[in-house]
Amino acid sequence: MAAEVLANLGADVAVFDHMPSMGRKLLLAGRSGLNLTHSEGIEDLLDRYGPARSRLEAAVHSFGPDALRAWSESLGEDTYIGTSGRVFPDSWRATPLLRAWLVRLVGLGVRLEPRHRWSGWADTAPSASSSQTLRFFRANGTVHEEEADITVLALGGASWPRVGSDGGWVTILRGVGVRVQDLQPSNVGVETGWSPHFVGRFEGTPLKNIAITRGGRTVRGDAMVTVSGLEGLPVYSHSSAVRDEVARNGRSLLAVDLHPDLAVDEVARRLGRRRPKDSLSNWLRRSLGLSPVAIGLLRECCGNELPGTPEALARLVKHAEIVVVGTTGIERAISSAGGVTLDEVDDRFMLRRLPGTFVAGEMLDWEAPTGGYLLQATFSTAVAAARGALQWAKISGGGAPE
């Protein structure tokens, strides 16, 4: 995105990527539907960025959801709003969008250089009075050096490193004095320490239409039982808070409501119809329609000692507490927290310590839930960094930058 903005404004642009092809993480994001942005009001959308809101606000206002949808449509990918307010391309996938985008970039004269891994600068980090000589290692082991007037770093976080974002840039920037917060998993599954019996029977089974609450915040959706815990939207929505609480206290609690459409009194009333010969499982299945995995979760939460009265069992159905002991690894997280601290960049997203070097996307220290907010801020900061780079180049006295 930064390359497109720069090229449209007259810059001579090259994109270096250490993977064999461009945009692999975008393709991964589109594997289950490319959620480009969200249709909610801009103020509500900005609130999703939490403490980073004040630093991202100008960028998101300048290139917001409407602009992002228009850009997608300019590439032949019309968009639509899903039932949850999320915005997707009509094709649902990332492949057509990426293919058209790369054709556009080449048409703009952008030079695409795959299989080049950035390793820093040839001599020293750039100064305010000189161009930059960046150093890359090619896949064949040779070294390539490229001189540039401005550089936009868009190197991602550290989630799903097999598609390119492995966080290797952290050491390089720390080595020249840039403060970088440790990269941590965000929008990630949780670890619960299931019993072997529960895992053996229910691993890979979805818990449908549940609600998960933590700290007074409730999120509904489906969750998947994994060998180590739970994954899914209502889990991811709490994962950042859970991650931080586990770091502080060694554990966190999530409350699962297995029947969010019914009040606890109604659940108890329905459970009051138990037939004399019904087992506990049949009682729950007949009265509430609970699935075997939901009943298994209730047993897991109370050491297989389910309460025998309708009132007590209703309270458990509405508030089954799961003890969380960790989050799954960053290599399977949807996104990552941490990165270049926001006070290290100015309003143009230029690194204060490295004049002429700009930073965009997930390598900055912000995080957001899933729902289109991740891609929106990534695109917005890329546009802002590109515009800021051109503004800085003009102030510095150069012509069209390289």
Residue pLDDT, tens place only, 195-223: 999 999 999 999 999 999 999 999 999 99
Q: How far apart are CA 351 and CA 370, in angstroms?
A: 27
Do the beta carbons of residue 223 and residue 209 sit within 8 Å?
Answer: no
Does residue 342 share a domain with residue 276?
A: no
Domain containing residue 194: 190-327
Do the beta carbons of residue 149 and residue 131 sit within 8 Å?
Answer: yes
Which of 303, 327, 351 delimits the end of a domain?
327
Do the beta carbons of residue 150 and residue 307 sit within 8 Å?
Answer: no
Q: Which residue type, as a one-letter code, is found at position 130? A: S
Does residue 361 share a domain with residue 221?
A: no
Does residue 199 share a domain with residue 175?
A: no
In the DSSP assignment, the letter for residue 112 is E
Give the pair of three-digit tokens for residue 112: 């695409």
Which of 327, 354, 374 delimits the end of a domain?
327
Q: What is the average pLDDT value for the chain, to the nearest integer?
A: 94
Residues contacting 287, CB < 8 A, separation 6+:
270, 271, 273, 274
Q: How far apart are CA 67 and CA 5, in angstroms?
A: 13
Give the pair of three-digit tokens for residue 167: 């966080």
Asked whether residue 110 carries a pLDDT value surpassing 90, the answer given is yes
φ, ψ of residue 267 in degrees (nearest 5): -60, -45
pLDDT tier, 128 (very low <50, low <70, confident <90, very high otherwise): low
**Which pLDDT value is given to residue 401?**
67
Asked whether residue 325 carries a pLDDT value surpassing 90, the answer given is yes
The answer to whether residue 221 is domain-embedded is yes
The answer to whether residue 248 is domain-embedded is yes
Work out the burial of residue 245: count CB atoms within 10 Å of its CB; fewer than 13 is exposed, 13-18 middle, 19 or more buried.
middle
Asked whether residue 130 carries a pLDDT value surpassing 60, the answer given is no
Instruction: Count other Cβ atoms within 10 Å, centred on residue 141.
Output: 6
Residues contacting 197, CB < 8 A, separation 6+:
none
The answer to whether residue 401 is domain-embedded is no
Does residue 197 share a domain with residue 180?
A: no
In this predicted model, what pLDDT tens digit does every residue of 19-43 receive, in sequence order?
999 999 999 988 888 999 999 999 9
**Which pLDDT value is given to residue 126?**
67
In this predicted model, what pLDDT tens digit does every residue of 353-383 receive, in sequence order?
999 999 999 999 999 999 999 999 999 999 9
pLDDT tier, 7 (very low <50, low <70, confident <90, very high otherwise): very high
Q: Which residue type, as a one-letter code, is found at position 216? A: G
Does residue 270 share a domain with residue 174?
A: no
The answer to whether residue 250 is domain-embedded is yes
Which of 292, 327, 362 delimits the end of a domain?
327
The answer to whether residue 402 is domain-embedded is no
The answer to whether residue 370 is domain-embedded is yes
Q: How far apart are CA 104 and CA 13, in angstroms?
A: 13
pLDDT tier, 124 (very low <50, low <70, confident <90, very high otherwise): low
Instruction: Count other Cβ atoms within 10 Å, centred on residue 174.
Output: 12
pLDDT tier, 397 (very low <50, low <70, confident <90, very high otherwise): low
Instruction: Tell me the pairing of strands 132-138 and 116-121.
Output: antiparallel
The answer to whether residue 400 is domain-embedded is no
- CATH number of the structural domain spanning residue 85: 3.50.50.60
In this predicted model, what pLDDT tens digit does every residue of 301-317 receive, in sequence order?
998 888 989 999 999 99
Residues contacting 140, CB < 8 A, separation 6+:
115
φ, ψ of residue 117 in degrees (nearest 5): -100, 120
Does residue 153 share a domain with residue 23?
A: yes
The answer to whether residue 355 is domain-embedded is yes
Q: How far apart are CA 254 and CA 241, in angstroms?
A: 11
Q: Which residue type, as a one-letter code, is found at position 388? A: G
What total of structural domains would you count in the chain? 2
Does residue 271 share a domain with residue 128?
A: no
Average pLDDT, integer, range 233-246: 95
Does residue 129 share a domain with residue 274?
A: no
φ, ψ of residue 327 in degrees (nearest 5): -115, 155
Percent of the chain whose pLDDT exceeds 70:
97
Does residue 67 share a domain with residue 138?
A: yes
Q: How far apart are CA 345 and CA 359, in angstroms?
A: 8
Does residue 340 share a domain with residue 323?
A: no
Work out the burial of residue 41: count CB atoms within 10 Å of its CB; fewer than 13 is exposed, 13-18 middle, 19 or more buried.
exposed
Sign of CA dihedral 200, 203, 204, 205: positive
How distant is the alpha carbon of residue 63 from its chain centre? 19
Does residue 146 share a domain with residue 11?
A: yes
Asked whether residue 88 carries a pLDDT value surpassing 90, the answer given is yes
Does residue 283 share a domain with residue 216?
A: yes
Enter the pTM of the model. Answer: 0.91
Asked whether residue 170 carries a pLDDT value surpassing 70, the answer given is yes
**Which pLDDT value is given to residue 399?**
55
Q: How far apart are CA 387 and CA 348, in angstroms?
A: 8
